[in-house]
Amino acid sequence: MLGSAVQLHLDGPVARITLNRPEVLNAGDPGWVAELNDAVAQVAAGADLRVAVITGAGRAFSTGVDLKSLARGQMTLAHFVAWEDAMTAIERTPLPFIAAINGHCLGGGLQLALVCDYRLASADASIGLPAVKESLIPSMALYRLPRLIGAARARDLILTGDPITAARAEHYGLVDRVVPAVDFSRAVDECIERFLAMPATSVRVSKRLMARAFDLEFDAFRREMESGLRECLASPEHRAAMDEIRRRIKGPP
């Protein structure tokens, strides 16, 4: 399934979303935003999917909003809200999302990476939130980034708008792993396989609960945790794991 600005390819349990405006470093305009929402909705509706990957065509993940489109008045508040809708949907979709950061990851591109569950970056990636330099604010990165890397580092990135290297982003905990560009494609495949090897139910429940961790007080979160644990204990994956443990304990005949 393909769009002109955002491509979606479904391969068994794996969904691959490619931001596909390489001529503008995958910057977002109204059509791009609409297609991103469509792609995320299709992934969310895919009952057999286990993991999703987002990457960019060419030499960038995404450089955020298309400044020409913004200057022409084509990117309105409604489009920024729709962009945030897509990102919120990613956070709330049960399967894990991998941000495969293959190059420049700036502004709304970094905001998109922030809502993914795992961020893998090429060593040559440049990462930052330049919104303040354009008299804008970086949307809900104002909420998400301090929770991820701490208030002081988040303030530096947001209030100066200056980019950092992939190595510095890894040191901050902003990305999970940095690999040389030559190894990037293989590392993405390895990351996909790691998630596919995990039991689907416990991954889904863990993601759902972690999304609530900062929103609920302790006792309310504990109630939701117990419900999730009940779901895991009743899952076929848990029964299979226990069968395997019993087989190992019993040993060969």
- pLDDT band at residue 3 under the 50/70/90 scheme: confident
Coil, strand, or helix at residue 97? strand
pLDDT at position 1: 53
CA 107 to chain centre: 14
Q: How far apart are CA 32 and CA 29, in angstroms?
A: 5
∠ CA 19-110-5 to the nearest 5 degrees? Answer: 15
Report the CATH fold assignment for 6-196: 2-enoyl-CoA Hydratase; Chain A, domain 1 (3.90.226)
- Look at residue 237 and tell me whether its pLDDT is greater than 60: yes
- Look at residue 252 and tell me whether its pLDDT is greater than 80: no
pLDDT at position 223: 96
Share of the chain above pLDDT 90, in %: 93
Which of 31-35, 105-109, 214-218 is the least confident region?
Answer: 214-218
- Look at residue 32 and tell me whether its pLDDT is greater than 70: yes
pTM over 0.75? The answer is yes
Report the relative pairing of strands 14-19 and 6-11 from DSSP bridges.
antiparallel
The ranges assigned to domains in the chain are 6-196, 200-250
Q: Note whether 231 and 203 are within 8 A (CB).
A: no
Q: How far apart are CA 238 and CA 203, in angstroms?
A: 12
Instruction: Work out the mean pLDDT of the chain and round it to a whole number.
Output: 95
What tens digit of pLDDT does each residue of 177-195 get? 999 999 999 999 999 999 9
- pLDDT band at residue 13 under the 50/70/90 scheme: very high
Residues sharing a CB contact under 8 Å with residue 151, sequence separation 6 or more, in sequence order: none
E strand or H helix at 7: strand 6-11
Nearest by Cα to 6 from 103, 106, 83, 75: 83
Question: Cα-flanking dihedrals φ and ψ of residue 152, to 5°?
Answer: -65, -50
Coil, strand, or helix at residue 127? strand
Share of the chain above pLDDT 70, in %: 98
Q: What is the mean pLDDT of residues 30-43?
A: 97
pLDDT at position 250: 81
pLDDT at position 88: 96
What tens digit of pLDDT does each residue of 43-69 get? 999 999 999 999 999 999 999 999 999
- pLDDT band at residue 251 under the 50/70/90 scheme: low
Q: What is the mean pLDDT of residues 200-212?
A: 94
Q: What is the mean pLDDT of residues 113-122?
A: 98
